[in-house]
Structure 1
Amino acid sequence: MQTENAFNKPTEWTADIKRHCAIEIAAQKYGPTNKCGTISLINAAAQTVVKWKGSAHSAVADTLALVDLVQAMAVVGHE
C-alpha cells in the first residue's frame, strides 16, 4: 500500500488479498523455536532440504532461502 499511497492510487483492492506468512506456516509445521512462538528462517530451513546460497542475513540469500523453504513445505504438504 505504500506505493499506492505514494502515487495517490487506490488501495481498496488490497482488502481482498489473502495473505500468508511463510514463517508462521513453518512454525505451525515444524514447531516454534523462540519465545515469540515463531521459528527463524535458518531453523525452518534446517528442518527441510533447503541449502543456503550465500551469506545468511543478506537480502539475496535470505530471499532465496525463503523461496526454497516455501517450495519445500509445499512439496511435503502434497506427498
Structure 2
Amino acid sequence: MVIKVLGSGCANCKKLEANVKEAVKELGIEATIEKVQDFKDIASYGVMRTPALVVDEQVKIAGKVPTVEEIKKYL
C-alpha cells in the first residue's frame, strides 16, 4: 500500500502525516508513506485544497485533516 500526503508542509499537512503514521501503526499494516509537496504533482491528482490523503493513487480526502479513526477507514 502506498499512502501519499499532499501539501506544502504547513501545520495541517504535518498533522495529517502524523495521523497517517499513527493509523498505520495501530492497524499493523505495511505501507509506504510519501510526502508530495510539488504543486504540479498535487494538481495532477485534481486536488485544489490541501492537505489531501491519497491511498494507492486514489484521492480519499482533501481540504481537511481527518482523525486517526477516519484514516483507518480508508486504509
TM-score (norm 1): 0.25
Please state which structure has a larger fraction of its residues in helix.
1
The structure whose RCO (Cα within 8 Å, separation 6+) is larger is 2
Please state which structure has a larger fraction of its residues in strand.
2
